[in-house]
Structure 1
Amino acid sequence: MTSSSSVILPLFCAVLLLSASWAASDSIEEEFYCRVCSNTDPSLPMSEAFIIQNNSAFTSILESTAQNLRCLEQSRHKSKLIFKPLDEFQVQVAVICARKLGIQVRVCTEGHDYEGLSYTTETKSPFQAGATIGEVYSWIAQKSRTHGFPAGLCTNVGIGGYIMGAYRTLIRKYGLGADNVVDARIVDSSSRILNRESMSSDLFWAIRGGGGGSFGTPLVWKLRLVPVPSIVTVFTVQRTLEQGATKFLYRWQQAADHLDEDLFIRVLLQLTNSTDDQKGRRTIETAYEALFLGRADGDRLLKVMKKDFEKGPIPEQAVEGIWKGLLKEDSPLMIRSPHGGMMSRISESETPYPHRNGTKFMIQWLTSWESGDDEESMKEHIGQVCLLQLYKFMTPYVRMSPRAAFVDYRDLDLGVNTIDGGTSFPEASSRGTKYFKNKWKRLVLVNTKVDPDNFLRHEQSIPIVDPLST
């Protein structure tokens, strides 16, 4: 296997959601089942491809990769039918039948959607998933000890979620997963199967980072595998406030995006119990998780870590403000991952992902709590989340005009589409420009051309209005 090796990954998948007009019908599942079966090979085990709500496995499959249990609340309508296509032709048939029956289609190839948009809808119904990151890594490991793919750490997440724009430890060496896609096969909203040669260059550009749930249903990704050493070095360094975490973090942020691209160091900030004499007192722990593409022996790693420092974006007094904000939360987590390296060299026009040269870090804010039966108490907790205040506190220190966001860390607070998908371009742009900056208009134009009926849509899908007409 050479350094330019590639792999083809099948991702047969479809999420089928009932429209409002069908929500009260008990026969929609049967009607869909009959239509799909009548148009497919009778020798296929079709009974295994359909999972309805009264099936004992329905709930466990629906919830198996949900990252945010808020999407499973009773008030948020969920899928009524899960359809797991057995081949590419069935994906085509599913799209055709869904159109005729007025069923909305949602695609679940990700498992990384923090707002659960692959699981819920304002009109309601079903879905499915494809190859996970863990399966991809396992396949590569069986074939070669010196190749990898720049995906993520969550092994149960679908590869499609990362190709749509996500990142992780190899980002500084090889860029995003989307930067290493060489071909794709999708079913578009008209049920046509397209590959890179038959689809437009704009569509191939859009599906590599433009967010899931728009443009088409992915079937196959052909990925470029990247060379990696057979032995790598990983290490974790921890510091609490009492151990000088403030100065340690300040120095890290000055250097992390300028280090050798073979070294990736991210930092996790979370609560822990203090180890000093004041038993039970809470403090902040910073954990620096590192991957170095090489051996730890020899002096290269030490040389890499002695690079000159450049001033970071967040002063020490602001770091102290972060500690105060985190200490107000019950179970906060802040993750800061550096860019630089290959990410600074790839042109912003290459894919829809806009955070390239000039972006120092990606910041992820998380909090969690025990879910109870009282939905009102959950809403009250959400409204009082101190991380929202910390998010506002960080405003002077992050990229603005507009304030940037990451589409794979989806946030419905930025705005949602109307139920019928008729959101205007200016309304949708208030969030779209945060996710995609100046790529937003191009994505809208592409989706308007490839899905003029807005058949593939969700709360934050790409709209179909033409920005040139507004």
Structure 2
Amino acid sequence: MKEVVSVVLLVLLVSVSDANETKPNTENFLQCLHNRTRSVNPIAESLYTHNNTTFVSSYVSYTKNKRYSNPKDTKLIAIVAAKHESHVQSTVVCAKSNGIQIRIRSGGHDYEGLSYISSVPFVILDMHDIRSITIDVSKKQAWVDAGATLGELYTKISKASKTLAFAGGVCPTLAAGGHISGGGYGNLIRKYGISVDHVVDARIVDVNGNILTGATLGDDLLWAIRGGGGASFGVILSWKVNLVDVPQTVTVFKVNKTLEQGVTDVLYKWQLVSSKVPQELFLRAMPKVANATVSGKKTIAVFFYAQFLGSAKKLMAIMNKNLPELGLKSEDCYEMSWINTTMFWMDYPVGTSTSHLLDRPSDPPRAFFKSKSDYVKKPIPKEGMEKIWKTMLNFNKMYIEWNAYGGVMDKIPANATAFPHRKGNLFKIQYYALWTDANATDNNLGLMREIYHEMEPYVSSNPREAFLNYRDIDVGSNPSGKTNLEEAKIYGSKYFLGNFKRLMEVKAKYDPVNFFRFEQSIPPVRAM
């Protein structure tokens, strides 16, 4: 009996021997695509191979991290820049039947390039041309396609209503497909939660090429793709989301203080109050390597960003009561519409036209970067902060975002959606290092590991939590072509905490052969 149990555990926990493997067949794949789309929506104009003169530009325009930009990758068979749902369906069916993996890319904000790299033969399914948006003001809802950017969504909402918004991120070139499926963190989090808390339906292409939506989607799959990442389960075509109410007047400010101005004391106080202030107020603190007043010297400056759903007068009263150490002045505050705050968060000067929200990338990536994440549940002591400053000063360009939690996030259960990082967090951290010289890569990656190690005593533990949308290969990964369940448990527990087991069960139901897999995908639990 022990031997039988051991075999079962081996199958369940050691590895997923990806079933029904087919030897990659490129010619059959390409012919399959043409055959399936010839009569209604020909795919020729959406298909790019290495023979196309526009292949490289198609590849790099939605590649954000220069560390992973490799348009000459011989493993990359083709890019399918889908223009119709049938192109997505055909790509899935033809890739599966010919033993070819797919990588799904919408906006390209992929910190580790997992949507456009692989060590085995693969196709990029690029969703940027599937970008329709429909707003229903009377129902306070919208349908937004996977390739539509947040900038396009926010613009469309603002044209339809001055008092509606969507609880999404602050970067307008993020596309809805990946941003929402990974959680969708933004500056309305304390008032309205995150993006997935407002998803009520979706359209998704499953492993058999079928489109699931509404009743056919299933509550379990809808739960999983709200925070579990869509690429493990299928291809997200579009989301149906609820919009949220915002006042006509929203107030923002950005002020900064340096180490020489006593910012460590201010930031320590920020930790105590930023998750406790009224939920209409979102406060971000951003420690950053900056030039000191002494020529050639560096220091740490902490930039404090705020967005308040209300007037400057009310905001000043809240700040004077809760964080007078910041020394906020009324002239630091700017009242504006919600749509104009999107330009503020992009660091554009106040009054900049919101037409920039519609800008899309076209140039190759200009910089290399590395990001990591953490969750903080207890205030970091001042001596700990001072250790962090010393390590940060070894970087040339580096910042750490401290994003306030609290508000409604303390009231939403961890298993309400697949996104688990809810109650008990003071703030979420994003570490971000940027460089332009390829020769500086090893040094910057080493420094990121160093500062991550320095932070270990001050952040969540058992497991040390991580945010899925800030992909970090260091927290665990699998090879492109195989899925080891024990390894998946490592990154799965950090991204999904107690929700990981349920995610594997949903995966087994909708993709039992584990076709939708990549370096940090969710594996199926094998039925015995």
> Structure 2: how far apart are the matches of 1:43 and 1:224?
33
Which of 314, 318, 322 aligns to 1:303? It is 318
- For structure 1, the residue ranges without an aligned partner over 5 or more in a row are 1-18
Instruction: Could you list the structure 1 runs, at least 4 aligned residues long, displaced by more than 4 angstroms after superposition.
Output: 73-78
Residues 1:105 and 2:123 are matched in the alignment: no
TM alignment of 1:81-96, pairs within 5 A? 81-96=78-93
Q: Aligned pairs, how many?
A: 435
> Structure 1: how far apart are the matches of 2:274 and 2:486?
37
Query: Who is 1:7 aligned against?
Result: none
Which of 432, 448, 456 aligns to 2:508? It is 448
How far apart are residue 358 of structure 1 and its match? Answer: 0.1
Is 1:133–1:159's contact at 8 Å kept on the other side of the alignment? Answer: yes
**Which amino acid in structure 2 is aligned with residue 462 of structure 1?**
I
> Structure 1: how far apart are the matches of 2:505 and 2:220?
9
Any idea what SS the aligned residue of 2:215 has? coil
**Which amino acid in structure 2 is aligned with residue 393 of structure 1?**
E
Identity over aligned pairs, percent: 40
Cα deviation per residue 1:298-338 (whole Å; 9 max; x = unaligned)? 345413652499x9510111111111111111211111101
Greater Cα shift, 116-125 or 62-71: 62-71
Query: Who is 2:424 aligned against?
Result: 358
Query: Who is 1:210 aligned against?
Result: 228
Query: Who is 1:57 aligned against?
Result: 54
> Structure 1: how far apart are the matches of 2:75 and 2:291?
39
Any idea what SS the aligned residue of 1:223 has? strand
**TM-aligned CA distance change 1:31 to 1:186, over 3 Å:** same
Query: Who is 1:411 aligned against?
Result: 472
TM alignment of 1:341-380, pairs within 5 A? 341-372=407-438, 377=439, 380=442
How far apart are residue 418 of structure 1 and its match? Answer: 3.2
Any idea what SS the aligned residue of 2:285 has? strand
How far apart are residue 103 of structure 1 and its match? Answer: 1.8
Residues 1:283 and 2:281 are matched in the alignment: no
Is 1:179–1:351's contact at 8 Å kept on the other side of the alignment? Answer: yes
Any idea what SS the aligned residue of 1:54 has? coil
**TM-aligned CA distance change 1:78 to 1:181, over 3 Å:** farther
**TM-aligned CA distance change 1:78 to 1:226, over 3 Å:** farther
Is 1:50–1:84's contact at 8 Å kept on the other side of the alignment? Answer: yes
How far apart are residue 41 of structure 1 and its match? Answer: 5.7
How far apart are residue 110 of structure 1 and its match? Answer: 4.3
**Which amino acid in structure 2 is aligned with residue 352 of structure 1?**
A
Which of 305, 310, 317 aligns to 1:294? It is 310
Which TM-score applies when normalising by structure 2? 0.77
TM alignment of 1:110-259, pairs within 5 A? 110-123=107-120, 124-129=122-127, 130-164=147-181, 165-259=183-277
**Which amino acid in structure 1 is aligned with residue 321 of structure 2?**
K
How far apart are residue 251 of structure 1 and its match? Answer: 1.1
TM alignment of 1:29-48, pairs within 5 A? 31-40=28-37, 42=39, 44=41, 46-48=43-45
Query: Who is 2:10 aligned against?
Result: none
Is 1:109–1:158's contact at 8 Å kept on the other side of the alignment? Answer: yes
**Which amino acid in structure 1 is aligned with residue 206 of structure 2?**
D
Any idea what SS the aligned residue of 2:169 has? coil
TM alignment of 1:392-411, pairs within 5 A? 392-411=453-472
Which TM-score applies when normalising by structure 1? 0.87
Q: CA RMSD for the aligned pairs?
A: 2.4
**TM-aligned CA distance change 1:305 to 1:460, over 3 Å:** farther
Is 1:49–1:84's contact at 8 Å kept on the other side of the alignment? Answer: yes
**TM-aligned CA distance change 1:68 to 1:305, over 3 Å:** farther
Is 2:277–2:318's contact at 8 Å kept on the other side of the alignment? Answer: no
Which of 492, 496, 500 aligns to 1:436? It is 496
Is 1:76–1:122's contact at 8 Å kept on the other side of the alignment? Answer: no
> Structure 2: how far apart are the matches of 1:361 and 1:217?
31
Is 1:77–1:125's contact at 8 Å kept on the other side of the alignment? Answer: no
